[in-house]
Each structure stands twice: as C-alpha cells, then as structure tokens.
Structure 1
Amino acid sequence: MSEKEKTVFEGEREIPVYTECDLLVVGGGAAGHSAAVAAARAGCKNIVLMERYGYMGGDVTGGYVIMVPRLSFYNKQYVRGLQEEWFTRMESIPGAVLGPSGDEIGCEDPALVNAWKNIHDCFSTNAKLPERLVRSVYFEPNQLKIEMDKMLLEHKDSIHVMCHSWGTRPIMDGDTIKGVYFESKEGRKAVLAKIVIDATGDGDIFRQTGCPYFGLADKLTRCATTALVWRIGGCNWDLFCEWKKTNHAAAVALQEGFSKVCGFRAAPLPGPTNDVCWINNWHPERDCSNLKDATETEMETRDTMRNALEYLRKACPVAFRNAFLYDIAPQLGTRCSYRLDGEYVITPNDFAFPQEHEDVIAWHSTISFINDNCPIEIPYRAILPKKTENLLCPGRHISADEIGIDYVNLIPQCVGTGQAAGVAAAVAIADGTTAHKVNIKKVQDILARDQDVPLPRNPYTDPSYMQNVVDHEYGLYTQLAKNAREKAGYLSGVRQFGANQGEIVDSDSKSVKGGGDAQLNPNLIKATPQH
C-alpha cells in the first residue's frame, strides 16, 4: 500500500439487532470459551458466545497448540479450574491426553522421571536438581473440540452460541461499551449487552473503544513470531528419542538441518500418541494481525512441508521411514499482536519481585526461568481497561509489557484469565454494578470455592499451596532472579527465548545465558520454547 492510502466513505445505515443479552463474549478460544462456561456456572443466565470459526478452542483446537505446559510447581498443581477439567473429561478416551498425573507431579524418582524424558516439558528443566515430574499435558485437538462443545451444551439454557460470526466493532455510549457489531453470512448485525468480554486475542474490540493499548512485542521474544502447525503420522516417537540419545551429533545436525530445509526455525514435538507428532515453527519478527505476515506464514510453511517431511525420512529412517502428512492446522498459529495497556501492566519484575495483589484472580505457574516456574499472582486489573467501562479483556492480549507478555499469554493463562473474567461479569451483572466496581472478594470466593481455582490468602484454598511457595523461596534461587535483585533494570536485557532460538540472551553482554544454572542442569540451555 502507498504511504497515503485511498479511503472511501461508508454511508450511515440502520443495523438490525440480532439479539440482546446480559453478557457478550467475543471469541470462543481458550479465554472466551472459559469465560462463557464460568459465567454460566456462576449464575449468569443470558450469555452470547460469538465465534468466527465453526468450533471452539481457537489456537488450541484450530492452531494445534496441543500441549499446555507447567501447570504445577514442585508437588502442587496451581493451574486447575477449567484448564484441568479439559483433561479430566477426556482422560478415559484412548489417545486423547498424555502427561504425568496429578498424583505424580513433583515425583523425583529417577526411573519415573526418565520414563517421561521423551515427552517434552513433562519434567523440570531448570534450576534445582534432582529433576522432578511436572504437570504438562498433550492432547488430541479434535477430541477437545468435541468436549468443548459438550461443556457449552451442558449450559444451553444459559449460553447462546453464534458460530461463523466475526465481531468487528464496539457499540459505544461515551466510554461505556453497549454491544458489538458483527459480520456473518447474514450480513452486518449487532448484539447488545450489559458487559462485553473481548476474548479475540488481538484486541479486535478494545482497540476501537478509546482505551490505551500496546503494539507488537519485543522482536526477540517468542511473541514476535507466527506459526502454522502441521502434524506427521506414521512416525515412532519413542524410537526417535532413543535415536537422539545414541546419536547425539546426528541429532544436533538434524535439528539444524530441519530448520534449514524449512527456511525458518521448526521442530518436531510429541503428541498424545506415539505414532503422530506435530511440527511447531517460529517465523521471526511477524505480527499475526498483519495481513501480509499472516498470509506469508501460512503459504511459506505449507510450501516447505513436503521437503521437510522427506528430510526427516532420510535423516532418521528408523523413526520416520513410513511417515506421512497427517494434517495441517486449520488456522494460523497466533502468538501476539496488540496488547491491553490495562489498570496493571505485568512485567518480568513480577517474577523476580513477587507481588501480592488484593485483586488476584489467577495464581499461575508459567514458563519462566526467572523464578523456576513458581506461580505468580495475576490481578484482575491486568484484564481491565483503563478507560472503557463494562469491558473485560482476558487471554493472550492481557496487559503486559513487550517482554513480560512472553511469560503470561500461553494457553493456561488464557483459560485462567478467561474463567475469572466470566465470573467477574456474572457477579457484576447480578449485583447491578460495573466491571470496574465489581465485588472482587465475591469473585475470588466463587473461583476458589466453586470453580477449583487456587488463590493465595483465600479461605477456600488449602494453605499448603502457599507454604509450598514459601518453602521453595518463591523460586528466587535462580541466578537470573539473584541478578535482577542485585542490579536495577537487569531483566530488561533478558529474553527468555532469545532471538527466537530457545536461549536466554542477556543483551548487556550479548551472550547466551543459562540463567546461571546451566551447571546444575544442562537442559536449561536451548530449551524448546512453547506455543
């Protein structure tokens, strides 16, 4: 496009109101689906869930982000609620889920830890030894599509689902949102609501309300990459892992050669069954909300798939001799574009200097080498716009700075903040108040008492969860945390997935770091990033 774009005027016209509701959730991904279900369970009776595709789950089921990492810290699982419910509902389905069970997390038995070594991120990979099992779960996305529908159908009297409907613009009355215009095959229509949840992931709604927001994340972060995931069938993952252990030099060469054939960083990862793996990839310095970047990511990835598959067949025939293209994710792998500049902005310092928030709505262990994945408190203010009223913004566009977003916009945080947003909306609607004035204590009690969400200092959460954090020093025994506490501004130079190469890069010295803990655990270096 030229610097000065041509414009046209769209004439005024009457827009039919499709429906009115108490709560409108725009986006049926991990955050939006969780918000709708949580709101219904908290007593909200008139909910509309608007989704542009024909299924729920977004990145999870459509982008094939088929693994959720780091749900536990030592022997306690902090990320529960609806996130854990996905897996408990599917655990009886053959081949649907794979990961250490809740009873196994924190286990340090070398034999059991070794048994999970072939499955990425199911064991601790940094800081303290001995290694221990971690609650990370792989799942079959199509089974989850079915299960997410079932969760909605259980609340069909409260939740009205609108698939193939793309929320495009907010309806505003001053600084208060009143609903959303949407496009579908029926044309442009509107949904009016008392409270709106923007769960689009890219701030499609909040960006047009007048509230402040941020642009693309730091270019050296995971969030500044895009992907198109695809899967390979007919492989043998266990044999592949054993081959790598006995052919170390060849395995390193395969990793480098595979990315070279693809033309961008890419890596095979395990799935819930031994015969299907998925290929994650990282196209650097791309914005998933940019049409050119999104188009090139999809077309360039598909263009390399046949050559990449043939390379695996030749380089490791013992595992990939009979491999074939299993399927391609039906939608782009979106990591980050626009972010909310909310009432609270999460930064890397939240991991080195633990904060106690009176409005905490999620207490999540995340992928953070700063604090060895110790849970941090995510406040309600991180999903609350500064200016716009009756709008909540959970999910991967949560309020965080350009580096901090890398730590808090993975699937578990989308589910957790979405669940909290749904409960908050239900409470505000029931009490006849606004999103900014909601009774946060009531929200927290519903989450902790009724929806299986552990929260610190809450009477409905077992005190042993806080004791576990205290006993393990909030994870601040890492060298990264020590450096951050000794040198002001240190973490502004640290990129967890430095230059998109899966390394920690300290920009002060321009060198690769192991967080100072590489001597404790060599797996810290070049750990494959998630999502």
Structure 2
Amino acid sequence: MEHYLEPSRSIPIIRNVDVLVVGGGPAGLAAAIAAARQGGRTVLIERFGYLGGTATASLMACINGFRNQVEPDETQTVRGIAEEIVLALKAMGGLGQSPYPQKPYPTTPGNLAYSYAIDTEKFKFVVLKMCVDAGVELLLHTWFAAPIMDGSKVIGIIVENKSGRQALLGKVTIDATGDADVAARAGAPFWQTTHDEAPRLNDTLMYRIAFGQQRPPAPFACDFGGNAVVWGPGVGPINGVDAEELSRGEVEARLRVFEDLAEKQTQHPELREARVIETPPLLGIRQTRFIEGEYRLTAEDALEGRRFEDVVAISSCPIIHYYGYRRYLEHEGYDIPYRCLIPKQLDGLLVAGRAISSEQPPYESHRAMVPIMAIGQAAGVAAALAAEEGVELRQLEVTALQRGLIKQGAELRKSV
C-alpha cells in the first residue's frame, strides 16, 4: 500500500474543559449527563445530528437489562440515568411492546421490567433534553480523528467537522465510541474476536414497517401500534473497524431489505399489507475491539454473580450467543468493577460501553443498552471527580465514586 505523508499544520483549540466524551450513544450520553451533573464542564462529541447511537442510528428499538429476564428477578439492578430515560419516555407515551418474554412490572421508580420497546424519535428528544438540562456542551456532526497525547496520557482529541480540523483539550477523556477508537489510536492494548471464534454474531440491519390493519405476532418486532421495528437481514460477521468490510456489509444488507420483508410476509400472512417505511443510517454492529483494562471480566464472574469492592455497575442480562443458546443468569446479576474501564498503559482516558475490558461471555450480557448506560454513568462521575480533584483515574478513591453514583440514583447493591 502506498502512503502519503500528511504535512503538519496549526489547528484551533476550540475547547479546554474538564471532561470530553467521544460518542453520543447510550454509554456516551449517560457519561456526559453524569459528568455534567457531577459539576464537570463537559463536551459531548457525536458524529450524527442526534444522540442515541445504536438505539436510534441503528433502530435497535428495545432497551434491555433493568433486571434479570427470568427468576430470580426481584432486584432492579440498573437505575440512575437509564431509569430516568424510561420514566420520561413513559410520560410521553414513548414505550411500546417489547418482543421479549418477561414478567410485567408497573414501570415506576424501582419497578421497571427487564425490557422496553422505545419510540426512537421520543428517545432522541428525551436524551437531548437531559443533556441540555444538565449543561452538556454538544458538538454534533463531528468525527473523532486522533488523540492528543502527552507521553502516555490522553490530554485531548482532534476532530473533523464542517468547520475543518479542530482540537479540544480535556482533563479526562471518555471513549464511548463503542469500538475503543480513542483508546486504540492512543496505543492502548486491545483484542478482537476473530470471525472463526464468533460465527453466530451476524450484524443486523433493522428496519421499520407499517403493517396495515393486522399486527405482527408479539415475538416478531418492537410494536408501536401502527408500525414496528423488525430484525432485518443479517450479514457477516464483519470487522466493524474496517471501512471496506463495513461498506460491503451495508451494501449487502440494504440490497436484501425488501427480499427480507417478502420472506416475512410468506411466513406471516398477516403482514401482506406491510411496507418498509424506514431503514436506519447505520448497520447494527455487535462487537469490535475490547480494551485490556486493569481487570478483565471473566465468564466465571458472570455465571457465578461475582461481587467486587470497586463495583460501579451491574448486569443481569442473559448471555446471548456464546454458548449457542440464550443462557439466563441464575442470580440477580454480576458486578462490573471500575478497573474494567481503565485501559492499561494509558492515563487520562476511561472507556465506557461495550469496549470495556471483558471476555466474550460476560460481554454478551453487559452489551445490552441498559447496563451500557450504567457503565457510562459510572465513567462520567469518575471523570468529573478526577478532574475536580486533580488525580489520575487509577488513584481516584473508589468509595467517593460510588457515593457519587448512589447520589445520582445508581444501583450498586451496597452502601458506602
């Protein structure tokens, strides 16, 4: 491959803040809200013109993981910002019928069900308003390009947008890209599952249908009355951090959408009047990079329901694909320790979302959007506290972080 040597140039520094959050998906928006509420001046960088990531840009219109899907399920293991979002959606009429079998709950504080279908447009509104109300500074239509380093410490980022190439400095940066883009480009060690190791993890293009007078069967889709979001063509698995493979996957999936609906209409005659009314801008990618953090979650941690002194979030979701079937947890969730958010060899950076340090089996539980938001909230509080106290992230007092999370309404199953 030929290379081009990019000339050096001076670029404007447009922000110098406490916390930079890269990526406005479920983890990033929760991180930004939490950091701002904790008192940190916070900037959120997002490539689209709206927030929500997989929930909105990929039309993954079900948010799962507030409690165990099966018994024992008495404890709501995620509260905080994720719960606030669902309650706000309920008040707006923004919750639909989840396709997942689950015990009903009244959708009141502390009494949320395992899963909810969401109106993606109302979700965009709710999370945007929460960011604005918290004082988050939003920089939309903006792509992360490179980290700014001082030795092994991330001290800011370079971005590209309609204004050109710009720099932002921050005391702490949170990588909420879902792909560990910031961490990887900063030199953090990471790993990826190969195609041979994860043959069942096809990536999916969701799409929305209007289905006329007859509704599809309950397990079929996220139902909103006159329309539904359905699971569409699966492709791959593809390497979600390779532009060529991403492009090939998008093309293949989009060319199969109408064929996919025709197959569904054959299987479900009640869909004969259905028509495609929306495809999302982004193929749903299940997994890419995982950082090597100060601790790596293991299969035993998830299956045995392990508790950690430095717990910052909890996941009680089933392990979806790894064992070849949906393996439900036989307990009310496992702890996610703060150490999983800290990449080895780097300072000034936390990773929030699906790219935290984990083996494959627990990842397939905590990758659900609700525990992802809990992880994001933890990263946001940690970043703001570290910025305020002027300490490195590894030296942050974990009990202070946990107190901050509990004050923000998070569930940790412990008192500090």
**Same fold, TM exceeding 0.5?**
yes
CA contact (8 A) 2:215 2:271 kept: no
With CA pairs under 8 Å and 6+ residues apart, which has the higher RCO, 1 or 2? 2
Partner of 1:244: none
Partner of 1:252: none
Q: Counterpart amino acid of 1:71?
A: F
Partner of 1:451: 408
What CA deviation, in whole Å up to 9, does each residue of 1:278-314 have, x standing for no partner? 2244323312112222112211122112222233334
Q: Provide the secondary structure at the position in 2 that maps to 1:442.
A: helix
Deviation at 1:202, TM superposition (A): 0.7
* Aligned: 1:35 with 2:31: yes
CA contact (8 A) 1:226 1:283 kept: yes
CA distance in 2, matches of 1:439, 1:427: 9
CA distance in 1, matches of 2:147, 2:238: 27
> Structure 1: any 5+ residue segments left out of the alignment?
100-118, 125-132, 242-266, 460-531
Q: Counterpart amino acid of 2:300?
A: N
What CA deviation, in whole Å up to 9, does each residue of 1:178-219 have, x standing for no partner? 100111111111001111001111111100222211123564
* Aligned: 1:366 with 2:317: yes
Structure 2 CA distance for partners of 1:182 and 1:357, relative to 1, 3 Å = same
Partner of 2:276: 325
Deviation at 1:223, TM superposition (A): 8.2
CA distance in 1, matches of 2:77, 2:345: 32
CA distance in 2, matches of 1:430, 1:142: 35
CA contact (8 A) 1:427 1:439 kept: no
Structure 2 CA distance for partners of 1:82 and 1:280, relative to 1, 3 Å = farther
2:99 aligns with one of 92, 103, 120: 120
1:271 aligns with one of 215, 223, 227: 223
Structure 2 CA distance for partners of 1:35 and 1:295, relative to 1, 3 Å = same
Partner of 2:116: 137
2:61 aligns with one of 59, 66, 82: 66
Q: Provide the secondary structure at the position in 2 that maps to 1:205.
A: helix
Deviation at 1:155, TM superposition (A): 2.3
Q: Which runs of 4+ in 1 moved over 6 A?
A: none
1:146 aligns with one of 105, 125, 133: 125
Partner of 2:74: 75
CA distance in 2, matches of 1:153, 1:222: 41
CA contact (8 A) 1:79 1:363 kept: yes
Q: Provide the secondary structure at the position in 2 that maps to 1:276.
A: strand
Backbone CA RMSD of aligned residues: 2.1
CA distance in 1, matches of 2:252, 2:214: 26
CA distance in 2, matches of 1:403, 1:136: 20
Partner of 1:47: 42
Partner of 1:12: 8
1:290 aligns with one of 242, 254, 257: 242
Normalising by structure 2, we get a TM-score of 0.90
CA distance in 2, matches of 1:18, 1:41: 22
Report how many aligned residue pairs link the two structures: 397
CA distance in 2, matches of 1:140, 1:219: 36
Q: Counterpart amino acid of 2:274?
A: A
1:233 aligns with one of 210, 228, 240: 210
CA distance in 2, matches of 1:328, 1:336: 21
Deviation at 1:85, TM superposition (A): 1.2
Using the TM superposition, name which of 342-351 and 70-79 deviates more: 70-79
CA contact (8 A) 1:224 1:287 kept: no
Taking only the aligned residue pairs, the percentage that are identical comes to 29
CA distance in 1, matches of 2:213, 2:385: 49
CA distance in 1, matches of 2:264, 2:305: 44
Structure 2 CA distance for partners of 1:354 and 1:268, relative to 1, 3 Å = closer
Structure 2 CA distance for partners of 1:431 and 1:223, relative to 1, 3 Å = farther
What CA deviation, in whole Å up to 9, does each residue of 1:337-381 have, x standing for no partner? 111111111121112333331111002212232623631000001
Q: Counterpart amino acid of 1:337?
A: T
CA distance in 1, matches of 2:309, 2:389: 20
